[in-house]
Structure 1
């Protein structure tokens, strides 16, 4: 039953063969998700010779396992950004993500994109207070919103905040469309192209096949950066996992919803080839810390039936996403020492807009164009105090997980990234590492990094 609605209803899949010989390119992109593919399109359109490498198949990672919400309403975020970064930076964040929506609307075809409204809702007094603080931030920033109570859901809501003219994506179909656009502009996309090693000073990398790629600029769109240690990003990113179900439904919601109370719930209707599907998501937790993930799927399935009076879910899937210490993603050079190595990561579950925004930011940097969000999204922006706090918090967890795993899970395979013991994820049938979020298939092959080598299951 574990199958993504998006992947199952994709367009007929194109295949992209791996490089047949050593290659020289202007920009090498690692990662075939929505961010990497968009960057490939934009950079090729700007005249760059682009080579994109994907270790499995494009769009089968995080991009194929999301909620597909394309919105500037990223949970309770603007009050936080306003406090941490000030008015102008908060406005830049809003405009950058709004531009990403308009970009997607300008190129999408068919039912790849649907215009809708986004609604935050509260069911408790604490949730109401949080929404009112967020509304104050909207007003201070001049962000248009609607406070009229929205009661479309079969829930008792106390307060809502609505953004109009937002969007929903079929992320895989949209990504397939972007892929075709990238190829039409001259980008070379390569699947089954696993990176074995890198020599960043020499600006080269070697694939597991032995093929060598030489580049002028390198862009890592691998969710968790392969070269995370160089910019200390391995100590700045926290990975969380969430779960989604879908079922056929005669409930064509006009809006998409997110609760601000616990347990968090994401709710939307999906229209595919004229047929509506109800999508329910939530049950967040830190990646890799639990084996009984069936529990999360079961909670959502019970809610699907008891609250929304729908049948058994037809599709169920999960995804994980890193977060930065200050909620703003990273898009730009990984360190000042190597300005030609860029990363795009830390989308905090809002990767539909932020991946498009990050691709544009990095494209502008590589092509020498100004971008108002470049400094806000810069990976080296984080101050020492915040970095140190997050490093200590994350490292403390990692050290505890490392030691505990080797004492209590002596039979579990060892993650090939930094040696932590993995856990068997019963619901998704994967080996998951809680230290830095690596995931492995049942046969030990890498599903998600930062690990790049398979498990030893002997």
Structure 2
């Protein structure tokens, strides 16, 4: 049974009522994670009438199942950004995410946020080469860094690359606090308000209980966009899954760590109500591609005990992350034909800073404020060749899974998104769709999109 550390140590939960009457609003936001709640808060502060819809309960999706690292150090990203986009855009990516950290610091309370250093570490010669290349790019972009070897983990290490004054979140407590700030600005937060259908031309949507919401602008913060076919985003996003475990620890680490060599591992501690917890994560693979995820939890658990000399994990959970083809998330209008429909997605495991950054970009675009990150995060940005390659790769995988799944998993329930056969996941006890990452609970109800309707388990 999965039990996220963040969800189990959340503040006492506030129950937000479902939408019960037809409503007209300036902005309708679908998705109650950090990107959705932050966007709602910023737009309401700007004087907009905002309705936020969450199909289950806020912060129980991706935001409640992350590592909680709030940092500009998104793995070895800046060398790639420099090569793909040039110096100005790579520097802008850093500044945009750094501004997101400072925003979070300005509104957080208590132990929702803690300052920490972010450290990349290498254990091999090839890893050292990658780190030194990344450090050279830091220097070129003006990103302050530290090369001194100050390493707290019981691992052999050859070199490190450190960014100071980064942060760590308790993502659920921080999100709960942010939701109250949004509500105080007039946001109508609606839980258990699943969207049944959309009429984007008429700027309306219908909920599963028949309620109709009319809007001027729509923002999809649903991790994987419901309207993914528009703008071909369904062929631009690749969904990967990672695993996390935690156990009580004696002392909190000063840094948060990520290996650049394989197998990739992320390490941090969380200090919650005076008690430190050790977090270890990794074991990434394509979502829906395996029928037994127990092996991934077991590998992390073995390392927790053999390397870090801690006991059995108390909490085990998993995160699912869409990635764009070119490292930068999508935040903005989903297509030129419908500039009033926006998406926030593709955070590539770095959703804490990028969700806040995307929220600022979308809210600024809607309100007409200048934001230099708008073209950088635009879903229709240039770079078609890269996207086409990703589309071919992703679509090929999808077609193989579609045809093969109907043969090899002929009795498995059919995903209600685009008709792929799901795969039973014995480790998480879920039905997982390998085509686009939808996940369903044992009873067939939707756990993660892009599917919006439950499985027919009697089919």
Name the TM-score, length of structure 2 as normaliser.
0.99
Give the match for residue 15 of structure 2.
15
The equivalent residue for 1:31 is: 31
Q: Give the equivalent residue in structure 2 for 1:191.
A: 191
Q: 1:102 corresponds to which residue?
A: 102
Secondary structure in 2 matching 1:232: helix
- The separation in 2 between residues aligned to 1:383 and 1:230, in whole angstroms, is 18
Q: Distance in 2 between matches of 1:151 and 1:448?
A: 37
Q: 1:333, 1:239 → 2: CA distance?
A: 21
Report the Cα offset of residue 442 of structure 1.
Answer: 0.4
Counterpart secondary structure, 1:318: strand
> Who is 1:73 aligned against?
73
Q: Kindly indicate whether the alpha-carbon contact (under 8 Å) linking 2:265 and 2:282 is maintained by their aligned counterparts in 1.
A: yes
| DSSP-derived class of the 1:375 partner | helix
The aligned counterpart of 2:223 is 223
Q: How does 1:48-127 map to 2 (within 5 A)?
A: 48-127=48-127
Aligned partner of 2:235 in structure 1 is 235
5 Å-filtered alignment, 1:20-419, equals 20-419=20-419
- TM-score after normalising by structure 1: 0.99
Deviations 1:199-219 (A, max 9, x none): 000000000100000000000
- CA positional deviation for 1:388: 1.6
After superposition, what is the alpha-carbon deviation per residue over 1:113-137, rounded to whole angstroms, capped at 9, x for unaligned?
Answer: 0001000001011111111111111
Distance 2:151 2:43 in 1: 44
Deviations 1:308-356 (A, max 9, x none): 0000000000010100000000000000110000000000000000000
Give yes or no for contact 2:326–2:387 (8 Å, CA) kept in 1.
no
CA deviation map 1:200-243 (0-9, x unaligned) = 00000000100000000000000000001011100000000000
How far 1:279 sits from its partner (Å)? Answer: 0.3
CA offsets per residue over residues 132-191 of structure 1, 9 Å max, x none?
A: 111111011010000111221100101100000000000000000000000000000000
Structure 1 unaligned segments of length 5 or more: list them.
none
- 1:379 alignment partner, SS class: coil
* Match of residue 440 from structure 1: 440
Quote how far apart the aligned CAs of 1:292 are.
Answer: 1.2
- Rounded to whole Å, the distance in 1 between the matches of 2:431 and 2:129 is 40
Q: Is the 8 A contact 2:402 2:435 kept in 1?
A: yes
CA shift for structure 1 position 77: 0.1
Specify the alignment match of 1:452 in structure 2.
Answer: 452
RMSD (CA atoms) = 0.6
SS at the partner of 1:131?
helix
2: CA distance, partners of 1:128 / 1:402 = 41
| 8 Å Cα contact 2:29/2:36 also seen in 1 | yes
Cα offset for 1:387? Answer: 2.1
Unaligned runs of 5+ residues in structure 2 are none
In structure 2, distance between residues paired with 1:261 and 1:402? 33
Q: In 1, Cα distance between the equivalents of 2:40 and 2:151?
A: 42
Alpha-carbon distance in 2 for matches of 1:411, 1:150: 54
Mean Cα displacement is larger for which, 96-105 or 420-429?
420-429
Residue 36 of structure 2 contacts residue 52 of structure 2 at CA under 8 Å; is this kept in 1? Answer: yes
Contact 2:364-2:370 within 8 A present in 1 as well = yes
Distance 1:456 1:380 in 2: 36
Distance in 2 separating the partners of 1:411 and 1:420: 12
Deviation at 1:386, TM superposition (A): 1.8
Alpha-carbon distance between aligned partners in 1 of 2:243 and 2:96, rounded to the nearest angstrom: 28
1:265-297 CA distance string (max 9 Å, x none): 000010000100000000000000001100000
2-side partners of 1:155 and 1:382: how far apart?
Answer: 42
In structure 2, what is the Cα distance between the partners aligned to 1:47 and 1:252?
Answer: 41
SS of the equivalent of 2:183 reads: helix
